[in-house]
Structure formats: C-alpha cells, structure tokens
Chains A and B, each alone.
Chain A
Amino acid sequence: DGGITQSPKYLFRKEGQNVTLSCEQNLNHDAMYWYRQDPGQGLRLIYYSQIVNDFQKGDIAEGYSVSREKKESFPLTVTSAQKNPTAFYLCASSKSRGREWFEQYFGPGTRLTVT
C-alpha cells in the first residue's frame, strides 16, 4: 500500500536537545511538506520541498531544519533554538504536476513533547 509513514508516533525530549522526526513516502511524489499543529491554530507550514536537494522555508521555519537527499524522505530537525517545540507535527506529500497535482496526502503525525 502506498502512503506516508512518520516515526515515532510519540517523542519525548529534554529542553536543549535537538530531535529529528522521520517522514517517508512511497507515493512517488515530488513535493513534501512539514506542518506544525497547535490547538486552535490549524496547520502552519514549516518547510517544503518541491524536488530532491531543494527546499524552502515556510511560514514558521525558525528553529527548524530539513534535508531532502532522497525523493522518499524529508526529515525534520527541531533544534534547541525553537522556543516552543511541543506540538503535533504532520508530514505531507503531493505531486508537483499532472492530474490532481494539488492534492496533499498526510502522514499519521508525530507528537513531540519537550520538558
């Protein structure tokens, strides 16, 4: 079955530590995205990548970093510079062209708790 996997589902870290969230897709999609979800605020875009080896900052990129070395993978690192890292993180992917190019598919999410 094609889809997006995110691991782990729950992640706990101490303040001051960097942590990397995994996102893998086998949908053969060119574009991938990271969102942060906080109660009452909807989803906010952190980073996106339209193609391998290229990515752009989204609306709230400060304190985060990403890489896109493979088409299937788009890991997100939450650095110690992120002031409020506790949140639910969602990864998504989409085609970049062709039929239904605009439709995003979401992974199950990772809930990060930093204490």
Chain B
Amino acid sequence: AQSVTQLGSHVSVSEGALVLLRCNYSSSVPPYLFWYVQYPNQGLQLLLKYTSAATLVKGINGFEAEFKKSETSFHLTKPSAHMSDAAEYFCAVLRDNAGNMLTFGGGTRLMVKP
C-alpha cells in the first residue's frame, strides 16, 4: 500500500528565503503525486501534480516540485517566501488499483517571518 511521509510538521522561514517542504512516498508502481495547500479554516487547493511526464513540475504561486525516483521523493520548493505563503501543505499519492483515491501525508505548517 502506498504511504506518504512529510518530514517536519512545522517549518519556519524568513520572508524572501528559500522554502523547502519535504515529501517521501512509497509506491509499487509509478506514482501520481500531488501537493495541496490549505489556508486556515478552508479547503484544500491543488498546487501542482506529477503524472509521469516531466520530473520538474511547476505549480501555482511560484511553487515547483521535483520527482526523484531514486530517492522516492517529491519535495516542494519556492525560491523566495512571501508572507502569503503561510499555510499548511499536504503531499498526497494516488493509490494503486483504487480508482482515484488519495493517501495524504500528515501535513507541514509553513510559517513565514517578516
């Protein structure tokens, strides 16, 4: 069964600094991977997705993620943090042989200091 691990439940960066949120997955087949963002008391919004095409995926709000099969990783990055990036971020993997259901990681809360 697939699983997703997000290292660091809380990450703090200064405004303008690099954002790096870590995600490792396990899957027996080539995975479909996703990053979602959640602002306080709201639903989830898709940031970007990997679906076996280019390994470097660009998303909304200047975020991107790189799929590395050898490391089973799909880390999320942004070159320069903005105050509006403060939110919770979830990595997810599409389950094998289970239609279109997702398995989510535990989430990482990003805090941006002025």
Residues of A within 8 A of B (CB): 4, 6, 9, 31, 33, 40-45, 48, 50, 58, 88, 90, 92, 94-96, 101-109, 111
Contacts and interface: CB of A to CB of B under 8 A. Distances in A.
Contacts of A102: 32, 49, 51, 94, 100
Interface residues of B, number: 23
Contact of B43 (A31, A50, A108): A108
Instruction: Report whether over half of chain B's contact residues are helix, strand or loop; otherwise say mixed.
Output: loop
Interface string B36-54: 1000011111100101000
Contacts, number: 58
Contacts of B100: 31, 94-96, 101-102, 104
Instruction: Identify the interface centre among B36, B45, B100, B107: most chain A CB within 10 Å of its CB.
Output: B100
Given A96-B100, A102-B32, A42 B105 contact: yes
